[in-house]
Amino acid sequence: MAQLKDVLKKPSSFYDEFLRKPDNYQQDTHYCPGCGHGILHKLIAEAIEDFGIKDRTIMISPVGCSVFVYYYFDTGNFQVAHGRAPAVATGIKRTHPDAIVISYQGDGDLAAIGGNNILQAANRGENITVFFVNNAIYGMTGGQMAPTTLLGQKTMTSPYGRKATWEGYPMKVSELLSTLEAPAYVERIALTNGKNLMKARKAVRKAIQAQIDGKGFSLVETLSMCPSAWRMTPVDAKKWVEEAMMKTFPLGVYKDVLDEREVGSWHRALETVPIEKYHEILGLAHEGMEVEGDVESVPKIFRNPKVLIAGFGGQGILLLGQTLAETGMRHGWNSTWIPSYGPEMRGGTANCHVKISSDPIGSPVVSEPNILIAMNKPSLERFEKDLAPGGLLIYNTSMIDIKPTRTDIEILPLPATEMADEIGSLRVANMVIIGAVLEKTKILQKDVVLDSLNAVVKHKKFIPMNSDAINKGMEYARNYKG
Amino acid sequence: MARIEVHKDHCKGCGLCIDICPVNVIETSKEINNLGYHPAQYKGEGCTGCTLCFYTCPEPDAIVVYRKD
Ligand SMILES: Cc1ncc(C[n+]2csc(CCOP(=O)(O)OP(=O)(O)O)c2C)c(N)n1
Ligand code: SF4
Ligand code: SF4
Ligand code: SF4
């Protein structure tokens, strides 16, 4: 047990001033008088100060009354979506293994909406510390029933008292999580009398120390007073924790395998992958990468192509997009590709978005394409209106028996499916289209496209046919007189 | 002798410190503070430095305990 200091005062891991309130009220919290959150905050803050980890601690604020954790702790801070703190904590810890990552969550946040998040993080044995505040109610939203609400307890949404056959039993999170193998340490504490407060202090420190030692997942469940939503005085609330809550939620250590674990055994060092390895994984390891894009030779409207490709699932829509994106990348530009899978994948429309740009790309989503490729009728009907003025529409007349209506765009009708059939396979219709794109936009070079295909296509036997199809597409576009 | 200091303008008058003090040396002040509460106040002597009022207080800066003064 850590020694008590001679002077106990506000820990230095709290900010000097809490900026959320108007000038002279900046030293106090937003919590109601007697709220357990404040008590737990102080224990955590003291541990952070004593362990000297303020500069490498990252607190995750939940949704709930403790949403403002970040106003108080002078550490790194994230405020995250309801229940998602364990997922965000996982991401931070995995990318910053030396940070001390603390997830702070209420019972609505952790046990209701975030139930699966905490379960999975605990089961993966993330090397994080979770402080779980069980006050048997949703405080912030005005006192609705929580998964942890006691049987018989009256809340806004259980006005006659919680009934097992209607709302189920109070969820015992510590008991549940301690059945998993990965967690290192799980304890339930309370913030009532002196004895319990000292045990709580010890548990808070132990759970943080477990992470510092790289021993894996720890969770401390705190039975915490919510005098406001319980409609009690703070002192009565404290008594209610002892007389009612503790019967359903007995205090104690539910799991502790810390002594069995070696220091560092659950520390997951960040594995950095060398750049050549990325190339190998993505199948990029050849000369295509070296080609420099020559932006000046490209018609202005196509300098930063935003391509929307749509058609039936099975028309090679996604491969078409992938090949364009890959080719852009091999020219030395930035490129993105996102497929839109949907229930419409078979039969209806499938589409994908491609951006190629000499500037960094903010979002991969193409809402106003400057190149639209419509491989079937529904795609033309649906997306024609979205094309930017002056943009290029390429549509597959083999499958589309209507005509585009816009007059402010460039249009290339082309019988891609029939041409592909002549070449020898319906599957190369997408390559005919690529040929047309190359010819019209001048942004991509054919040999680079072929290199990209080599990386993207699994069945290499199609490659000669693809090359033929690209040539035919280019030729068609060159000779087309609109 | 140990003693405590209550920073009355950061106290919300919740009474938890008064309830927990084993030697009963904290009381409620008649004064109304900045936040609109009757803050806690030290009776002036008798503190043993047990620290419990510090740990039970939900406010970061309402109570300071000097254990060895
Ligand atoms: C996605 C989403 N769903 C619902 C809400 C509404 N909401 C805000 S706080 C809260 C529950 C908070 O209860 P708890 O986690 O027990 O924390 P407490 O306020 O009691 O500390 C809910 C349901 C929300 N903000 N976001
Ligand atoms: S509503 Fe309850 S949990 Fe929320 S600040 Fe008030 S006492 Fe604390
Ligand atoms: S330190 Fe202990 S004895 Fe002194 S005032 Fe606080 S609770 Fe009472
Ligand atoms: S516990 Fe803190 S906030 Fe509550 S009355 Fe005592 S000093 Fe004031």
Q: Which residues of A are less than 8 Å from B68 in CB distance? A: 6
B31 near B39, Cβ under 8 Å? Answer: yes
pLDDT at A461: 78
Contact B52 A197 (CB under 8 A): yes
Backbone angles phi, psi at A413, to 5 degrees: -80, 140
| Atom 2 of ligand 2, residue of closest alpha carbon | A226
A141 lines ligand 1 (CB under 6 A): yes
Write down the mean pLDDT value for chain A: 91
Contact B61 A28 (CB under 8 A): yes
Q: Which of A31, A148, A156 to mutate to test the pocket of ligand 2 (most atoms within 8 A of CB)?
A: A31
Task: Tell me which of B5, B16, B24, B34 to substitute to probe the interface with A (most A C-beta atoms closer than 10 Å).
Answer: B16
pLDDT at A464: 86
Which tens digits make up the pLDDT trace of A301-359? 787 899 999 998 778 898 999 999 999 988 888 899 998 865 544 555 688 999 998 88
Contact B34 A25 (CB under 8 A): yes
A162 near A244, Cβ under 8 Å? Answer: no
Ligand 4: distance of its center to the CA of A10 in Å? 13
Contact B59 A36 (CB under 8 A): no
Nearest to A14 among B16, B60, B67 (CB): B60
Task: Tell me which of A9, A135, A195 to substitute to probe the interface with B (most B C-beta atoms closer than 10 Å).
Answer: A9
| Atom 2 of ligand 4, residue of closest alpha carbon | B57
Whether the predicted pLDDT of A284 surpasses 90: no
Which tens digits make up the pLDDT trace of A153-204? 999 999 999 999 999 999 999 999 999 999 999 999 999 999 999 999 999 9
Whether the predicted pLDDT of A63 surpasses 60: yes
What DSSP letter does each residue of B9-68 carry, written as one string? Answer: GG-----HHHHH-TT--EEE-SS--TTSS--EEE-SS------HHHHH--STTSEEEES-
Cα A313–chain centre separation: 27
Task: Tell me which of A3, A23, A42, A192 to substitute to probe the interface with B (most B C-beta atoms closer than 10 Å).
Answer: A42
User: Between A and B, how many residue pairs show a Cβ–Cβ distance under 8 A?
Assistant: 99
- Beta strands A57-61 and A76-79 are parallel
pLDDT at A289: 40
Topology, domain A275-479: Pyruvate-ferredoxin Oxidoreductase; domain 3 (3.40.920)
CA distance A292 to A301: 20
Put simply, whether A235 touches B (Cβ < 8 Å) is yes
Which tens digits make up the pLDDT trace of B8-65? 999 999 999 999 999 999 999 999 998 889 999 999 999 999 999 999 999 999 999 9
CA distance A276 to A66: 45
Q: Which two tokens stand for residue B21?
A: 């003090």
What does the domain layout of chain B look like in residue ranges?
3-66
Which tens digits make up the pLDDT trace of A208-253? 999 999 999 999 999 999 999 999 999 999 999 999 999 999 999 9
Give the nearest ligand 2 atom to A32 CA: 6
Nearest to A38 among B34, B52, B58 (CB): B58
Distances (CA, A) of A247 to A147, A162, A170, A176: 16, 16, 11, 17
- Beta strands A350-357 and A334-340 are antiparallel
Contact A8 B51 (CB under 8 A): yes
Q: Which residues of A are less than 8 Å from B12 in CB distance? A: 28, 32-34
Q: Which residues of A are less than 8 Å from B16 in CB distance? A: 34, 234-235, 238
Whether the predicted pLDDT of A285 surpasses 90: no
Contact B67 A191 (CB under 8 A): no
pLDDT at A29: 92
A191 near A223, Cβ under 8 Å? Answer: yes
Burial class of A318 by CB neighbour count within 10 A (0 to 12, 13 to 18, 19+):
buried
User: CATH for A23-260?
Assistant: 3.40.50.970
Architecture of domain B3-66: 2-Layer Sandwich (3.30)
A106 lines ligand 1 (CB under 6 A): yes
- Taking the CA of residue A197 and the nearest CA in chain B, the distance in Å comes to 7
Would the CA dihedral through A455, A456, A462, A465 be positive or negative? negative
What does the domain layout of chain A look like in residue ranges?
23-260, 275-479
Q: Which ligand is closest to the CA of A146, given by its number?
A: 1
CA distance A156 to A160: 9
Q: Which residues of B are less than 8 Å from A35 in CB distance? A: 58
State the Rg of chain B over Cα. Answer: 11
ipTM: 0.98
CB-based pocket (< 6 A), ligand 3: B 2, 4, 20-21, 23, 25-26, 47-53, 65
